[in-house]
Structure 1
Amino acid sequence: MKFSDGYWLTRDGYDINTPKEAYDHRIDGRSLTVYGPVKAIQKRGDTLDTRMLTVRFSSPLEDVIRVQVFHFKGRIDNKPGFELRMTDVKPLITEDAEALIFQSGSLSVNVYKNGWGYQFSRAGRKLTESSPNSLAYITTEDGRTFMREQLDIGVGETIYGLGERFAAFVKNGQSVDIWNKDGGTSTEQAYKNIPFYLSNRGYGVFVNHPELVSYEIGSEVVSKAQFSVEGESLDYVIIAGGEPKDVLSRYAQLTGKPALPPAWSFGLWLSTSFTTDYSEETVTRFIDGMKERDIPLSVFHFDCFWMKEFEWCNFEWDERFFQQPQAMLSRLKEKGLKICVWINPYIAQKSKLFQEGKENGYFLKNDQGDVWQWDRWQAGMAIVDFTNPKARDWYCSKLEHLLNMGVDCFKTDFGERIPVDAVYFDGSDPEKMHNYYSFLYNKTVFDLLKEKRGEQEAVVFARSATAGCQQFPVHWGGDCFASYDSMAESLRGGLSLSLSGFGFWSHDIGGFESTASADLYKRWTAFGLLSTHSRLHGSESYRVPWLFDEEASDVMRYFVKLKHRLMPYLYAAAYEAHKEGIPVMRAMLLEFPEDRTCDWLDRQYMLGGSLLVAPVFQENGAVSYYLPKGTWTHLLTGKETEGGEWKEEQYGYMGLPLFVRENTLLPLGNVSDRPDYDYLDGVTFCLYHLKDGCSAEQAVYNVNGESMTIRAVRNQNTITVNSTGVQKKWKLILRNHPPVSSVINGAAEALQEGTGIRPKEEQRDVVIFF
């Protein structure tokens, strides 16, 4: 939201009040409070009839500083609020002649004593600053009030995140409203709005408000990241880190780390699609068709019309097409499949559940006490009130019945079009609940799955989100079109979401709206199966590959099996996301923060820390991509190339730029027909271009908690390999490696077979068994 008219003037109808000096302060053990009147105080009379802002600095985590600004503190703090995980931090509070200094770990804020303003620094290096006239309390002619902050954007500084945004990847120059909307992937609207941005300077800013937060990122004042909220207070958090990954890790520690999705969820999901005709016969035909073509399938998803039209949601199978649903699910599960069904948090008036929900007060109400209803999406639909514990239990009882039938997980669709004129059971502020509703909705379903299926089996396929929803994976990108443009915007959205703290992300392979050409479908297949989660889903047409052409089946088979072989690596990256909050799909700047070219890259990404993926976005197979400095090896061809420059190449449908970073131990599993297997049994570690004086380390985890870590160290022409953890047979391959005279195992207990292997000097690929 913009308040100024150019640099010098204020827009009509607004009055901007900014602190003029740090008039007084108070130190209260672990916080520093500074008082800033909006006019300079030169005599006693100046203290009368004026406004004053109260600014409190505290630290919820080490290297994190919270800033709370108040005009009137007496306002009731209505629910809801984000759940912050705070620790017992003892900050250092000092002062010198020029500033009050509040320090948490390596992060400090210096509050100027003369005049007004404060600067955030890490280890003595400036990160950003609130300059004079940046912090403001704003009033309007119609009685509304706003709090605004402006933080410096330095020369060359770039800003990312703010949720799953499909416009430009770098947010500089954009106006962004944090307000969930069902707008598809081709506008500035977003399903997942997160009030957190990340800077390439090694810090992030989280605005701790679930309601509308309005950002002007270098758009109202080109050198400022501005954010504002309506009301009498502002609460934001500065998070510092040596690298952007450290910032994301601390943000996840503060707002919640992602759960670890079950291994089977990383396999291929196939859907009925949305408005197509389907029955058990159709479903079985598609599943058998995949098996006949040797395309491994892990999950089958039933979309909306598994329930009868006009009755969403009644949570009952449409008996016209599914006469014996439980028997059908048993037959499908005998084929080795997991089952997902579509749900949303709405109850149509024709649903048999409507009257039950109305009588028991389970729905949102209007201010007259009636059920809040409208005709968008479903005729006369009501919205479940998840602030009511009994409503949550009622909703979960319907889902539990489906779980008992054999359903394994749910696609938690919708949750964005939440009214701001509704009344909640617990009195929650409807403005704050608009975005936050997605948290309660997905948490309710995810917690049920944890309770009934176990923590290691819980997974949803969610569309809407707010801060904290990263705890409930997986999220997918929503309604994209069948075009290369939409494929590229989907990737931008996914990378923005990953830089907003979300560890897992998916999208509709081939696009949701309309039907892709065979060419686009095959290109999107490679991209989709090199994402954390992979789903075939559409709107008016089916997405099985042979309906495009038979080569599409070959492409699908190839990349599904490749993903399964990569599962020891992918599951280790998922484990890192779960433990550390580092996303699996990573914008290039996360792994190469020192490379300024990577600041702008939005058509390629790192899958985990070692694999670079650049999807093909052109019909002729041409692709332009950038390799950072170092030696890179193409995973599929073995071709070695030097980085530090842009590359332009052409690829067939069985390939794309997929490169392994130097000094990498890449684990490959020995199973290609399913994603969930024993990753430690017979795993092959491929060692790529280990440089002299460098080391490479890779951990492999199993679902049952077993783990093994391999570490290789090169000292001139000798590579020493150590294995710790669970000991099973494994194999080491030196891929495209500078010649070495010996490979020795430094952990004798790990040696299973083979010892003292000495490859010849001229050998480039050496296989060693342990």
Structure 2
Amino acid sequence: MKFTNGYWLIRDGVDALYAREAYEIGVDERTESLDVLATTGVVRGRYDTLNLPTFTIRVTTPAEGVIRVRAEHWQGATEHPGFPLNEDEPGGRGYVALRADGNGDGEVGEDGASVELTSGGLTARVVKGAPWNLSFLADGRVLTESRGKSLARFRLDERSAVTAQPVGEFGVSRDGSAFDESDVFTAIQLGLGVGEQVFGFGERFGAYVKNGQSIDVWNEDGGTASEQGYKDIPFYMTSNGYGVLVNNRGHVSFEVGSENTETVQFSVPGEAIDFCVIYGPTPKQILSRYTALVGRPADVPAWSYGLWLTTSFTTKYDEATINSFVDGMAERDIPLSVFHYDCYWMREFHWTDFEWDKRFFGDIEATLERLHRDKGLRTCAWINPYIGQRGSMFAEGKAKGYLVRKPNGEVWQTDFWQAGMGLVDFTNPAAREWFKTRVKALLAQGIDAIKTDFGERIPRDVVWYDDSPALSMHNWYTQLYNRTVFEAVEETYGKGRACLFARSATVGGQTQPVHWGGDCESTFNGMAQTLRAGLSLVSSGFGFWSHDIGGFEGAFPDPAVYKRWLAFGMLGSHSRLHGSTVYRVPWLFDEEDERNGVVNAPGQSAVEVARSFTRLKLSLMPYLYEVGLHPHRDGVPVMRSMFMEFPDDPSARPLDRQYMLGPSLLVAPVFSCSGEVTYYLPAGTWTNWFTGERVRVDDGRWRTETHGYDTVPLWVRDGSVIVTHPGATAPEYEYGRDALVSVFLDRGEAARAVVVEEDGSSVTFEARRVGDDIEVVSSDGRPFRARLGFGAEVASSGGVARLR
């Protein structure tokens, strides 16, 4: 949200108050905090204190390496709730240090004196006097600072040209202005250094580097070709070694070098702003501290890593259709792990009432039992939190007060999506239990996972059961919705066995995986938008991510897009074939090629591509499952941006057409029909997965190649030990038994791989140089096979294999 007109002027209809001077500064040993009174003018004498607005600023540390700042103009104004934070108890924490010039405790009197709070290597410093200065330092280096005219309170009138999102009934503003959201906003600017780059903000479909962008944290169902997002997160991190969380559940507006080119500005409605600065200095360390503060992702079951197939959205299907898909995949040797029932398992106009449409599914319990027992499949079912009035749940929800109401006491309703639909009020504990009971009944029928769709279309002019401020609920609603459903699944199947497929999210949503990227176009552009959004999401604390392979929108995707997307989709944490109006089984795309006179060479058909990449992923499960434990352990995601793995390489930071799958595998999806792809290899030694080519790169190297549909740039990083099971046909098996251990040890002396089984047991494979050989040792002595790179295999003896 932009308040200024150029560098010197304020926009028409905007009045501004800026913090000009740190007039009083002090420390409080008891609460381990800094307390600051900032005036909006320079005080030269007592007469200047009259009619002079102030900001009250409190600086604390909720956790090691994290510093929290709350700045308020009027303390009696409406509170805007923040997110639940996992704060340490104050007092006696060894990582906290306070320093004050002068007497040490209490108020500091002389201009130029300063107070400091240090937590885990991060220091906040406030200097008394003018100009206003709050800086954040590490190792004596300023990471960022709020200096000069950077902390502000803006008042708007009807003439204001300040703009927000003009998104009508569900948005911030009906007329395109911010005035009807609030007439007061509080903002702060944190400085950017020369060349400093900014990443994060949740799911954003534009460029991965956010410099120059205006970003509104306000979830919308806007598709992937827009500036809106389904999972907007008020968190970012930079190449300068820190992250920032704005602790506000409602509308947060960011100007990332776009209003003042030297700063990130963020603003919120109301008289106060609350944010945390999180020190790394590496991206992984920032995410580790951030997710410790707001919640780590839960572990997900191994079966969820396999291939998911859906009915698609508006297609017509019944049990015979489903059987034809499942049997068709098996007949073509394409391993399938999960079958998903999308919207129309319920009758039209009835969503969501949790009742199967008996016209098409007469004995659903028997059907689900056959899919489990005879086909070896898990199942998933679609829901949303909107209750159509024709469904059986509407009358009950209305009578018991479980639906969101208007200020006049009527149930809030709309015809947008399902006729006369209401909205479950998840701020009501009884409503949560009511909804949870319905989810559990669905699970009892034989469903294993839930797709929690929607959650973004939340009205602003309603009354909530717990009296939450209406605008704070727009983004927060999805967290209550997803948490309710996730708890139902977890209470049914146990921790580490629960899995969602969620579209919308806010801070905290990462604790309820998995999330997928929304309604993407079935084009190469849609594919690229999807990857950019995924990189931004996993840079915002989310550990797992998926997307609609082949794209969602569009009548029938180009088979070339589908096949390229298959390679991309299978080289990720979670993989789902899903679309809008057309089924996504691969043989339909081969039939389309035939109709168009396209003759596929061996290995190039959609069926063959689906088979080969699905089997490749399943063979990688010993690697992927262990990598998938890191989001819960330390907050590091399965898919990582190149910036996350190579933060010291300036050329790697902005890359958003390639990624790392775990620490060892570099993937560069192909975004062209021709197969031409250009990508970047950072410094190091890399081995091509498909050809075995080994490349030593001293300073980073760009490569341009042309690929068929059956390969993709996939490289193994030196210093890796990759454990696989070639020939695996399911995601669940004993990963450490009879494994193939591939060692990539060009320049290092040692490397290892830890293989973790789903029951928590593990085996470690250690590779180390012994003279001219490399010795590979398993920790449990069981037999395995080993090879140097993709060379000849050597059988172990007594748990040891020697490679030359």
Which category describes the TM-score, using the shorter chain as reference length?
A: over 0.9
Q: Which residue of 2 aligns with 1:9?
A: 9
Distance 1:611 1:604 in 2: 11
What is the rounded CA distance, in whole Å, between the counterparts of 1:578 and 1:687 in structure 2? 27
| Aligned equivalent of 2:626 | 572
Matched, 1:518 2:588: no
1:184 Cα deviation (Å)? 0.6
Q: Which residue of structure 2 aligns with residue 179 of structure 1?
A: 218
The code of the aligned residue for 1:87 comes to D
| Deviations 1:334-369, CA, capped at 9 Å, x for gaps | 210001010000100111111111000000000001
Q: Secondary structure at the match of 2:22?
A: coil
Q: Specify which of 248, 254, 269 is matched with residue 308 of structure 2.
A: 269
- The equivalent position to 2:719 in structure 1, one of 649, 652, 663, is 663
Q: Deviations along 1:645-696, whole A, 9 cap, x unmatched?
A: 100001111101000001111111355100111111122221113314x332
SS of corresponding position for 1:596: coil
Partner secondary structure for residue 126 of structure 1: strand
The alignment partner of 1:23 has SS state of strand
SS at the partner of 2:490?
helix
Would the aligned equivalents of 2:26 and 2:100 in 1 still touch at CA under 8 Å? no
Total equivalences in the alignment: 746
1:484 Cα deviation after fit: 0.3
Cα distance in 2 between the residues matched to 1:3 and 1:336: 58
Matches within 5 A, 1:9-28: 9-28=9-28
- Following superposition, the deviation at residue 3 of structure 1 comes to 0.5
Which segment drifts farther, 327-336 or 439-448? 327-336
> Residue 87 of structure 1 corresponds to which residue in structure 2?
88
Q: Work out whether residues 690 and 714 of structure 1, in 8 Å CA contact, stay in contact via their aligned partners in 2.
A: no
Greater shift after overlay, 611-620 or 696-705? 696-705
What's the secondary structure of 1:236's corresponding residue? strand
SS of aligned partner of 1:476: coil
For 2:461 and 2:478, the matched residues in 1 are separated by 17
1:100 corresponds to 2:120? no
Structure 2 SS opposite 1:563: helix
Aligned amino acid, residue 98 of structure 2 = I
Question: Residue 122 in 1 paired to residue 117 in 2?
Answer: no
Q: Deviations over 1:233-252 (max 9, x none)?
A: 10000001121111011111
> Which string of whole-angstrom CA distances, capped at 9 and with x for unpartnered residues, describes residues 112-152 of structure 1?
22311121111112211111111111122368111111011
Coordinate RMSD, CA, aligned: 1.7
> Is the 8 Å Cα contact of residues 690 and 696 (structure 1) preserved in structure 2?
no
Counterpart secondary structure, 1:598: coil
Where does 1:692-731 land on structure 2 (aligned, <5 Å)? 692=748, 694-714=749-769, 717-724=772-779, 726-731=780-785
> Does the C-alpha gap of structure 1 residues 77 and 752 become closer, same or farther in structure 2, counting only changes over 3 Å?
farther
Match of 1:648 among 701, 704, 709: 704
> What is the correspondence of 1:585-734 to structure 2 with a 5 Å cutoff?
585-643=639-697, 644-670=700-726, 672-692=728-748, 694-714=749-769, 717-724=772-779, 726-734=780-788
Over the matched positions of the two proteins, sequence identity in percent amounts to 50
Please state if 1:138 is matched with 2:177: no
Letter in 1 for 2:25: H
Contact 1:611 1:661 in 2 (8 A): yes
CA distance in 2, matches of 1:736, 1:533: 26
* 170-179 vs 321-330, which moves further: 321-330
Q: Tell me the distance in 2 between the aligned counterparts of 1:314 and 1:449.
A: 18
Structure 1 residue 76, shift from structure 2 partner: 4.4
1:553 alignment partner AA: V
Partner of 1:536: 577
- Displacement of 1:518: 1.2
- 1:252-401 matches, within 5 Å, as 252-334=291-373, 335-401=375-441
What per-residue deviation string (whole Å, max 9, x for no partner) do you get for residues 542-567 of structure 1? 00000001711111010000000101
- In the superposition, relative to structure 1, how do residues 159 and 756 fare at CA in structure 2: closer, same or farther (>3 Å)? closer
CA distance in 2, matches of 1:436, 1:756: 54
Give the CA deviation at 1:606: 0.1
Measured after TM superposition, the shift of residue 17 of structure 1 is 1.0
Match for residue 496 of structure 1 among 522, 525, 536 = 536
CA distance in structure 1 between the partners assigned to 2:262 and 2:784 by the alignment: 54
Q: Which moved more, 1:613-622 or 1:134-143?
A: 134-143
Distance 1:720 1:113 in 2: 62
How far apart are 1:99 and its partner, in Å? 2.3
Query: How far apart, in 2, do the equivalents of 1:728 and 1:756 lie?
Result: 11
State the one-letter code of the partner of 1:484.
Answer: F
Structure 1 residue runs without a partner (length 5+): 746-750, 760-765
The letter of the residue matching 2:359 is R
Residues 640, 736 of structure 1: 8 Å contact kept: no
Instruction: Report deviation, 1:736.
Output: 6.1
1:53 maps to which residue? 55
Distance, in Å, in 1 between the alignment partners of 2:84 and 2:312 is 36
Preserved CA contact (<8 Å) 2:524 2:672: yes
- Cα distance, 1:732 vs. partner? 2.7
Contact residue 296 and residue 557 of structure 1 kept, 8 A: yes
Q: In the aligned structure 2, how far is the partner of 1:100 from the partner of 1:355?
A: 60
- Mean CA deviation greater in 519-528 or 105-114: 105-114
Q: Secondary structure at the match of 1:284?
A: helix
Q: In the alignment, which of 104, 109, 125 is matched to residue 110 of structure 1?
A: 125
Cα shift at 1:755: 5.6
Code of the residue aligned with 1:122 in structure 2: it is A
* Letter paired with 2:22: A
Tell me the CA shift for residue 228 of structure 1: 0.3
**Amino acid of the structure 2 residue aligned with 1:68:** R
For 1:718 and 1:641, the matched residues in 2 are separated by 21
Query: Is the 2:343–2:383 Cα contact (8 Å) retained in structure 1?
Result: yes
- Does the alignment pair 1:753 with 2:794? no
CA-CA distance at 1:756 after TM superposition: 8.0
Q: Is the 8 A contact 2:782 2:799 kept in 1?
A: no
The answer to whether the Cα contact below 8 Å between 2:452 and 2:482 also exists between their aligned partners in 1 is yes
- Per-residue CA shift, 1:524-581, capped at 9, x if unaligned? 0000000110000011010000000171111101000000010111111111122110
- Alignment deviations for residues 280-311 of structure 1 (CA, whole Å, 9 cap, x no partner): 00000010000000100000000001100000
Aligned-partner Cα distance in 2 for 1:408–1:756: 41
Aligned ranges 1:241-252 → 2 under 5 Å: 241-252=280-291
Q: Partners of 1:523 and 1:342 in 2: how far apart?
A: 27
- Structure 1 756/556 Cα, relative in aligned 2: closer, same or farther at 3 Å? closer
What is the Cα deviation at residue 109 of structure 1? 1.5
Distance 1:76-1:526 versus aligned 2 partners, 3 A rule:
same
The partner residue of 1:70 within 64, 69, 72 is: 72
Measured in 2, the distance between the counterparts of 1:130 and 1:635 equals 48
**1:372, distance to aligned residue in structure 2 (A):** 0.5
Normalized against structure 1, the TM-score is what? Answer: 0.95
Q: Is the 8 A contact 1:477 1:490 kept in 2?
A: yes
CA distance in 2, matches of 1:112, 1:138: 24
Q: Distance in 1 between matches of 2:129 and 2:256?
A: 28
Question: Any idea what the Cα deviations from partners look like across 1:457-505, whole Å, max 9, x if unmatched?
Answer: 1000000000110000000001011100000000000000010111100
Paired AA for residue 281 in structure 2: G
C-alpha displacement of 1:595 = 0.6
Alpha-carbon separation, structure 1, partners of 2:247 and 2:387: 31
The verdict on how the C-alpha distance between 1:391 and 1:756 changes in structure 2, with shifts beyond 3 A counting, is closer
* Counterpart pick for 1:410 among 436, 441, 450: 450
- Amino acid paired to 1:604: Q
TM-score normalised by L of structure 2: 0.91
Other structure's SS at 1:59 match: strand
The alignment partner of 2:533 has SS state of helix
Q: Are 2:781 and 2:800, in contact at CA under 8 Å, matched by a contact in 1?
A: no
Q: Please give the alpha-carbon distance, in whole angstroms, between the structure 2 residues aligned to 1:427 and 1:276.
A: 41
In 1, Cα distance between equivalents of 2:799 and 2:433: 59
1:277 to partner: Cα distance? 1.0
- In structure 2, the residue matched to 1:748 is none
